[in-house]
Amino acid sequence: MKLENAVVLVTGGNRGLGKAFVTEALARGAAKVYAAARDPQTVTTPGATPLALDVTDPASVQRAAAEAGDATLVINNAGISLGASLLTSDLDEVRREFETNFYGPVLVTRAFAPILIANGGHLLNVHSVLSWVTLGSSYSATKAALWQATNAFRLELAPQGVGVTGLHVGYIDTDMTATIEGPKVEAAEVARLALDGVEAGAFEVLADEITRNVKQGLSADPSALYPQLAGVSSGV
């Protein structure tokens, strides 16, 4: 699909990568861009249309779908990272991450699927390189689950004329990664590459070198992805 004259909805569109998506879509000539956020007053991008949306609240999702029935591109971008451990953290933290990072996009996609089918639209889900490799937190599990949900959505929606693209990327230079050391990619560059993929009808977009290397390495022995475990006994 083309972004020119499209009607775009971006969850978490008030900051970080979401704000970059809003800016890039407007620059490509989108007719309208809904910047969705829990508090629409935090949306500051000129030309954007603020939209109240809490992706963890089914009633809020349904209200947003009723208000944005003209959407032709939905971008599931909203996400959180609490650094929760599947083994030792309070399970409420793990559930909170899953409610936002997995069930949130599922709720949004279910609500907007009829709209995208009617409008001949497209879906873009924001995954992570951590869909394929973990740093030990439940965040990776949420993104792995979302990756599989995206693949399932693609199979169901393609025969109905709706394309589905998954975005995989490493650390993005946003406030979410402000305390993390290591190479980061600019949010504007990620948004540009992702929307290039949408316009090309790509199944997946790998937005940085780290992600491309990890994806290529998935065919190797998985121990290669975890060098920190070299020499550690497996207990066998």
Catalytic annotation, pick one of 34, 103, 143, 171: 143
Q: What are phi and psi of 7, to 5 degrees?
A: -115, 115
- Whether 143 is catalytic is yes
**CB-count burial class (<10 Å; 0-12, 13-18, 19+) for 17:** buried
Nearest to 71 by CA among 12, 136, 25, 17: 25
Who contacts 151 (Cβ-Cβ below 8 Å, separation ≥6)?
A: 166
Pairing mode, if any, of strands 163-168 and 204-206? parallel
Q: How far is CA 14 from the centre of its chain?
A: 14
Catalytic annotation, pick one of 103, 139, 171, 215: 139
How far is the C-alpha of 21 from the C-alpha of 125, rounded, in Å?
A: 12
Longest dimension (CA), the chain: 60
**CB-count burial class (<10 Å; 0-12, 13-18, 19+) for 97:** buried
End-to-end CA gap in the chain: 52
Active site residues: 139, 143
